[in-house]
Structure 1
Amino acid sequence: MSVTAQSVWNNCLEFIKDNIQPQAYKTWFEPIVAVKLTDKALSIQVPSKFFYEWLEEHYVKILKVALTKELGDKAKLVYIIKMENTYGNKQPFTEKIPSSNRGALKSQDIDVPLNNKSPELRNPFVIPGIRNVKIESQLNPNYSFENFLEGDSNRLARSAGLAVAAKPGGTSFNPLLIFGGVGLGKTHLAHAIGVDIKDKYPEKTVLYISAEKFTQQYIDSVKKNNRNDFIHFYQLIDVLIIDDVQFLSGKTGTQDVFFHIFNHLHQNGKQVILTSDKAPVDMQDIEQRLLSRFKWGLSAELQNPDFETRVSILKNKLYRDGVDMPDDIIDYVAKNIKSNVRELEGAIISLIAQSSFNKKEITLDLARVIVEKFVKNTKREVSIDYIQKVVSDYFQMDIDTLQSKTRKRHIVQARQLAMFFAKKFTKASLASIGSQIGKRDHATVLHACKTVDNLSSTDKQFRKYVEDISKKLSV
């Protein structure tokens, strides 16, 4: 009996099937196609680069064992990735096991037919009974790059947004995930990218939707037994913008359908833009396969604006509203409201309103009254700098010592407590917390949080530290 690529691969699959979960086998091995066998090298075709990376990360050992059983110690596995880039060129990608050298493969790629696009698809945005083939973008034209002012806190995200708008689906920023706390401009920037793309590429289908609405549409499609139509509708989109993607947490059905839509769009050179209140590494109850995709492109954080950016935002707001205001009042508002852009603009609107309604001149005294009320009525968000100061004072050390590289036990514990409370009281990502507390990475912050949790339950003295500092930060 002659040995063929298919027979070798079938034997490998039998072995793999016996050693992994059925769902994992169905997801990651059933789609693979055996292409050819040359000497001791088996070539297999996988659907995407992500698929290849997932196999390499999670199943390389079992693949190696299975192949060695069939072809001996000199066995090699060659991946052929069938992907279409934005210019329509086929780009095969190869990798050999155990060697990590990559090279061009001169074998013929196997074409993977795209899903047929039916003209009778139901549009989830259309009222039942009304035919409308046009897909409205759902974008707000008032959110533009012109009124999204650049500063150190948002430069990376804004620059990436401009790059995506100039060449949607044609940059390495796919998906582009914009994350950050409340009121920092995530939704504004997402709309601005969409508006700019529609302006530059009127023929492209751009769609903005909140994750909450997407979920509701999916639930409706299941109830009405037209899930496939729902999926096919979203596969028609050229630029898909999903706001507050963290809302998908725990919703396995919606995550599954979004997984397939994302896969199709990405493999066909379409652009995906996501916003979230946290970084992928901090998202809870989101499937690993989706998180891996979120990390595939660029994750750009929006941070609290610095003083100069806050002043620019206020001046821009006043200019657009046609209001003059002395610089000392603008500076006072900018110095005292640091949490986010939404609250900053809210305070200036309140100041203008009070002046207008009560026919009072806008003075520094009026600004003090308004800002004091505004700050008092707004839930205070504790900053990482403030947390470091409270922890340092509690342990009677300076902040430089807290952030130092020393491994002295009491200093390490103080640093770990600062990281723990930064994660508890702020919306900053683990990477951002680590960066601000001694230039550590996100893994160090994660370890610190676990250590504090463990010590709190086993060490009475340490538990008192946690309780005391928590009270100081909650005041």
Structure 2
Amino acid sequence: PSTQEEFLHTFNTINLAGKQVVLACDAHPKMIGHLSEKLVNRFVSGMVVKIQTPDFHTRCQICRQYFRTKNSKLKTQNSPVPESVIKYIAENLRTNVRELEGALLKVIAYSALKNNNINLSMAKAVLTEHLERCDPIVHVSDIESAVAAYFGTTPTKIHSPKKDRTVALARHFSMYLTRKHTKMSSSEVGRFMGNKNHATVLLACKKIEEMLKRNAEIHWQGPDGNKVCKARTIITHLEASL
């Protein structure tokens, strides 16, 4: 609390001076656990935007620029890097710019070591193991948003103590999918979703697993009336949207 209070004073001082503060996080300010209401209000009073992962065209541009910059410094490539190499890397590395740059650096380093120009067969050989390790990243905030939209509720309600059926279902599915698709522990998931304890998360996951096992018919109240759907259909739909 004292650290947050000090940061709030610093934030206000900078703001009153007409300066700007840029903050980055993997979740909306209202979804960050243990953040004081005063800080949340300050953060949402500014521009809150979601930065999407770069699309294919942007990834290609990043590759071209990176190759040009590195090769001009290292002088390892006498001819332009083939478009086939750029498109191969951009198509297979979609998660984030750091993964992309790591792959590019690996190809450039191999090219310099062998004293050969970069080509498609070289890129494929060098990046085989790298691509196997680069599983798509799913963020808990994306999971919550998808689940909340499906059940007609909000991430804020999922974090709340509310126990009506719709919110409880959304909370349980969020916890289950977060444990399945992220590396967060049960305790971490609980803290993120409204300071719940790890036992609550374990129980939620067990309930969803039992529903999936028997493909239970699930009922809930959506914004436009009663809803009903099979558990496996719900999971399939939610996972497809992540």
1:433-444 mapped onto 2 (5 Å cutoff): 433=146, 442-443=154-155
More helix by share: 2
Match for 1:348: what amino acid?
L
Paired residues of 1:431 and 1:441 also in contact (CA < 8 A): no
What SS does the corresponding residue of 1:273 show, helix, strand or coil?
coil
* CA shift digits 1:218-267 (9 cap, x unpaired): xxxxxxxxxxxxxxxxxxxxxxxxxxxxxxxxxx2210111222233324
Distance 1:445 1:255, change over 3 A: closer
Which of residues 366, 378, 382 is equivalent to 2:122? 366
1:312 & 1:284 partners in 2: Cα distance?
37
Distance 1:304 1:432, change over 3 A: farther
What SS does the corresponding residue of 2:22 show, helix, strand or coil?
strand
Partner of 1:339: 95
2:115 & 2:96 partners in 1: Cα distance?
29
Deviation at 1:268, TM superposition (A): 4.2
Identity rate, percent: 27
Match for 1:373: what amino acid?
E
Paired residues of 1:381 and 1:426 also in contact (CA < 8 A): no
2:98 & 2:116 partners in 1: Cα distance?
24
Deviation at 1:455, TM superposition (A): 5.9
1:335 & 1:365 partners in 2: Cα distance?
15
2:126 & 2:31 partners in 1: Cα distance?
36
TM-score (norm 2): 0.59
Deviation at 1:355, TM superposition (A): 1.5
Distance 1:265 1:336, change over 3 A: same
Partner of 1:298: 47
Match for 1:278: what amino acid?
A
Deviation at 1:445, TM superposition (A): 9.0
Partner of 1:254: 3
Distance 1:434 1:268, change over 3 A: farther
What SS does the corresponding residue of 1:275 show, helix, strand or coil?
coil
1:281 & 1:326 partners in 2: Cα distance?
45
Q: Does 1:271 align with 2:32?
A: no
Paired residues of 1:329 and 1:367 also in contact (CA < 8 A): yes
TM-score (norm 1): 0.32
Partner of 1:223: none
1:450 & 1:348 partners in 2: Cα distance?
40
Partner of 1:183: none
Partner of 2:105: 349
* CA shift digits 1:289-324 (9 cap, x unpaired): 111111110112222111000001111112222352
Partner of 1:308: 57
Paired residues of 1:355 and 1:361 also in contact (CA < 8 A): yes
Match for 2:136: what amino acid?
E
Match for 1:426: what amino acid?
H
1:459 & 1:345 partners in 2: Cα distance?
39
Partner of 2:139: 426
Which of these two proteins has the greater Rg computed from alpha carbons? 1
Q: Does 1:376 align with 2:132?
A: yes
2:157 & 2:85 partners in 1: Cα distance?
39
Paired residues of 2:31 and 2:155 also in contact (CA < 8 A): no
Match for 1:329: what amino acid?
V
1:367 & 1:445 partners in 2: Cα distance?
47
Match for 1:354: what amino acid?
Y
1:333 & 1:300 partners in 2: Cα distance?
28
Match for 2:100: what amino acid?
L
What SS does the corresponding residue of 2:59 show, helix, strand or coil?
helix
What SS does the corresponding residue of 2:5 show, helix, strand or coil?
helix
Q: Does 1:328 align with 2:77?
A: no
2:204 & 2:4 partners in 1: Cα distance?
36
- Unaligned segments of structure 2, at least 5 residues: 159-166, 176-202, 216-230
Q: Does 1:450 align with 2:171?
A: yes
Q: Superposition RMSD on alpha carbons, in Å?
A: 3.5
Deviation at 1:333, TM superposition (A): 0.6
2:117 & 2:6 partners in 1: Cα distance?
57
Count of equivalent residues: 174
Distance 1:449 1:360, change over 3 A: farther
2:28 & 2:100 partners in 1: Cα distance?
24
Paired residues of 2:30 and 2:156 also in contact (CA < 8 A): no
* CA shift digits 1:70-122 (9 cap, x unpaired): xxxxxxxxxxxxxxxxxxxxxxxxxxxxxxxxxxxxxxxxxxxxxxxxxxxxx
Deviation at 1:430, TM superposition (A): 6.3
- Unaligned segments of structure 1, at least 5 residues: 1-251, 383-424
Tell me: higher relative CO, structure 1 or 2? Use CA pairs within 8 A at least 6 residues apart: 2
2:18 & 2:113 partners in 1: Cα distance?
53
